Amino acid sequence: MWFNSISFWMFFIAIAALCVPFGYKTQNRILLGASYFFYGYIDWRFIGLIFFCTALNFLAGWKIGHSTDPVARKRWLTVAVSISLTVLGIFKYLGFFSHELSRLLVSFGVLESPWIIHVALPVGISFFTFHALSYTIDVYRGETPVCRDLGDFALFISFFPQLIAGPINRSTQLLPQIDSPRPKLDEERFKKGLYLVLCGLFMKVVLADNMAWLANHVFRSGLPQQAAPEVLLGIYAFALQIYGDFAGYSAIACGTAIWLGFDLMDNFRRPYFALNPRDFWSRWHISLSTWLRDYLYIPLGGNRKGPRRTAINLFLTMLLGGLWHGAAWTFVAWGAVHGAWLVIDRMVNHGASSEKTTTAKSAVHWLVTFHIVCLTWLLFRAESMAQVANLLSNLVSQWHWTAFASTAATLITFFGLPWLIFEAWLESKRDDWALLKSPWLVRAIIFAALVLYLLFFPPPAPSEFIYFQF
pLDDT of the chain, 470 residues: tens digit per residue: 788 889 999 999 999 999 999 999 999 999 999 999 999 998 888 899 999 999 999 999 999 999 999 999 999 999 999 999 999 999 888 887 887 788 788 877 777 677 777 778 888 899 999 999 999 999 999 999 999 999 999 999 999 999 988 799 999 999 999 999 999 999 999 999 999 999 999 999 999 999 998 998 888 866 667 889 999 999 999 999 999 999 999 999 999 999 999 999 999 999 999 999 999 999 999 999 999 999 999 999 988 888 899 999 999 999 999 988 888 899 999 999 999 999 999 988 865 544 556 788 889 999 999 999 999 999 999 988 989 998 998 898 888 888 999 999 999 999 999 999 999 999 999 889 999 999 999 999 999 999 999 999 988 777 777 776 66
Whether the Cβ atoms of residue 81 and residue 109 lie closer than 8 Å to each other = no
Flag whether 74 is in a domain. yes
Whether the Cβ atoms of residue 157 and residue 128 lie closer than 8 Å to each other = yes
What is the structure's pLDDT at 354? 47
Flag whether 457 is in a domain. yes
Whether the Cβ atoms of residue 369 and residue 277 lie closer than 8 Å to each other = yes
Flag whether 18 is in a domain. yes
Residue 440's Cβ-count burial label (10 Å; 0-12, 13-18, 19+) is exposed
Whether the Cβ atoms of residue 272 and residue 243 lie closer than 8 Å to each other = yes
Flag whether 71 is in a domain. yes
371 catalytic residue (yes or no) = no
My answer on whether 10 and 82 are in the same domain is yes
**Residue-level length of the chain:** 470
Residue 128's Cβ-count burial label (10 Å; 0-12, 13-18, 19+) is buried
Flag whether 270 is in a domain. yes
What is the structure's pLDDT at 357? 66
Distance, in Å, from the CA atom of 141 to the CA atom of 197, rounded to the nearest integer, reads 36
Whether the Cβ atoms of residue 429 and residue 273 lie closer than 8 Å to each other = no
Number of domains in the chain: 2
My answer on whether 132 and 264 are in the same domain is no
Flag whether 354 is in a domain. no
My answer on whether 177 and 203 are in the same domain is no
What is the structure's pLDDT at 355? 53
Q: How far is CA 92 from the centre of its chain?
A: 17
With residue 288 as reference, give the H or E element that holds it.
helix 286-292
With residue 447 as reference, give the H or E element that holds it.
helix 440-456
Residue 159 has phi, psi (to 5 degrees) of: -45, 115
Final residue before a domain boundary, out of 182, 208, 228: 182
Angle at 270 between CA 417 and CA 332, to 5 degrees: 105
Final residue before a domain boundary, out of 182, 206, 226: 182
Q: Phi-psi region for residue 302, left (φ > 0), alpha (ψ -120 to 50) or beta?
A: left
Flag whether 356 is in a domain. no
> What's the DSSP call for residue 122?
P
Query: Structural domain of residue 408, as residue ranges?
Result: 188-348+361-469
Give residues with Cβ within 8 angstroms of 423, minimum separation 6: 270, 272, 273
Catalytic residue selected from 131, 285, 325, 338: 325
Q: Where are the beta strands (DSSP E) in 332-460?
A: none
Distance, in Å, from the CA atom of 147 to the CA atom of 177, rounded to the nearest integer, reads 12
My answer on whether 409 and 456 are in the same domain is yes
Q: Is 286 helix (H, G, I), strand (E, B) or coil?
A: helix
Q: What DSSP assignment string belongs to 182-199?
A: -----HHHHHHHHHHHHH
Angle at 344 between CA 338 and CA 347, to 5 degrees: 140
Q: How far is CA 339 from the centre of its chain?
A: 18
Pure H helices in 66-169: 70-107, 125-141, 150-158, 160-163
Whether the Cβ atoms of residue 201 and residue 252 lie closer than 8 Å to each other = yes
My answer on whether 303 and 419 are in the same domain is yes
What is the structure's pLDDT at 140? 96
Whether the Cβ atoms of residue 245 and residue 175 lie closer than 8 Å to each other = no
Fill in the amino acid letter for 148: R
Flag whether 153 is in a domain. yes
pTM, two decimal places: 0.92
My answer on whether 175 and 220 are in the same domain is no
My answer on whether 430 and 408 are in the same domain is yes
What is the structure's pLDDT at 353? 46
What is the structure's pLDDT at 164? 87
My answer on whether 95 and 156 are in the same domain is yes
My answer on whether 79 and 144 are in the same domain is yes
Give residues with Cβ within 8 angstroms of 134, minimum separation 6: 168, 170, 171, 291, 295
Give residues with Cβ within 8 angstroms of 235, minimum separation 6: 218, 374, 375, 377, 378
My answer on whether 170 and 206 are in the same domain is no
What is the structure's pLDDT at 224? 63
Final residue before a domain boundary, out of 182, 203, 233: 182
> What's the DSSP call for residue 206?
I
My answer on whether 380 and 231 are in the same domain is yes
> What's the DSSP call for residue 269?
S
My answer on whether 34 and 148 are in the same domain is yes
For the chain, helix, strand, coil in percent to 5 are 75, 0, 25
Whether the Cβ atoms of residue 147 and residue 156 lie closer than 8 Å to each other = yes
